[in-house]
């Protein structure tokens, strides 16, 4: 699959990675933009790709811990959005529908590649969520020992999150990294809010126990 292009209906729709995100004229929320895609407005689709490409690649990377696979899976999400446009109905938030497609793809990918992935596959080059720096860039405010401990802590967190059961992992990633609330996570995973809270509680409790030396 070509980088930066979505091959659609035998052609290719260019998506400029650094282009400004411009909402189509007279469009309301994302659901209304998607209805314009349904009506055949490719510029509306390009707007959605520009807006959600980076969050989607980030979501997929945290699911699969493979940069190339994350890019390809994100591309596939948007291809499926486009191919499903004619059947789209705004019965839920657009992002709920989008992440439901993404989680289904991520689960299928995990199932299909589970025998190919190293058990402790952790990247130490992913930017830190708080600072935006990669862990191999020295923080002048930290001593060498503190930097090593920080690196170990970040790697351990990623490893333990990645090792959670698939549904718990998806819930934690959506909650912590995508800042989605319980209601939206529940809609994506097709659970009740109480079941979602219970799922997250079990996941965070597992992480708390396994990461107690870093807490």
- Give the closest residue to 137 by CA, choosing from 145, 152, 127: 127
Q: Is the pLDDT of residue 147 over 80?
A: no
54-68: average pLDDT: 89
CATH topology of domain 1-117: Rna Polymerase Sigma Factor; Chain: A (1.10.1740)
Above pLDDT 90, what percent of the chain? Answer: 37
pLDDT value for 177: 82
- Please report the pLDDT score of residue 194 as a whole number: 92
Per-residue pLDDT tens digits for 43-53: 999 999 999 99
**Res 16 pLDDT > 90:** no
pLDDT at 9 over 80: no
Q: What's this model's pTM, rounded to 2 decimal places? A: 0.66
User: What average pLDDT does the segment 163-186 reach?
Assistant: 89
- Per-domain residue ranges for the chain? 1-117
Angstrom distance (rounded) from CA 82 to CA 25: 20
Q: Tell me how far apart the alpha carbons of residues 8 and 186 are, in angstroms, rounded to a whole number.
A: 31
Mean pLDDT of all residues belonging to the chain? 77
Q: What phi-psi label fits residue 110: left (phi over 0), alpha (psi between -120 and 50 degrees) or beta?
A: alpha
86 versus 20: which is more confidently predicted? 86
The candidate with the shortest Cα–Cα distance to 170, out of 104, 92, 214, is: 104
Average pLDDT over residues 177-189: 89
Mean pLDDT of 120-149: 48
Note the pLDDT tens digit of each residue in 77-134: 999 999 999 999 888 789 999 999 999 898 888 777 765 544 433 343 444 443 343 3
pLDDT number for residue 12: 42
């Amino acid at each position: 699959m070509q980088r930066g292009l979505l091959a659609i209906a035998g052609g290719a729709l260019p998506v400029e990675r650094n282009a400004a995100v411009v909402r189509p004229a007279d469009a309301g929320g994302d659901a209304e933009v998607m209805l314009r895609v349904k009506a055949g407005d490719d510029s509306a689709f390009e707007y959605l790709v520009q807006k959600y490409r980076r969050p989607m690649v980030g979501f997929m990377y945290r699911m699969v811990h493979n940069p190339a696979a994350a890019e390809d899976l994100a591309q596939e999400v948007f291809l499926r959005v486009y191919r499903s446009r004619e059947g789209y109905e705004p019965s839920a938030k657009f992002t709920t529908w989008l992440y439901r497609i993404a989680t289904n793809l991520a689960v299928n990918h995990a199932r299909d590649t589970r025998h190919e992935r190293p058990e402790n596959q952790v990247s130490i080059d992913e930017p830190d969520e708080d600072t935006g720096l990669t862990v191999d860039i020295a923080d002048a405010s930290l001593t060498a020992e503190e930097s090593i401990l920080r690196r170990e802590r970040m790697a351990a967190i990623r490893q333990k999150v990645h090792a959670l059961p698939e549904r718990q992992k998806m819930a934690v990633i959506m909650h912590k990294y995508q800042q989605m609330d319980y209601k939206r996570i529940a809609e994506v995973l097709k659970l009740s809010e109480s079941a979602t809270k219970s799922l997250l509680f079990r996941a965070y409790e597992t992480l708390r126990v396994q990461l107690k030396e870093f807490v």
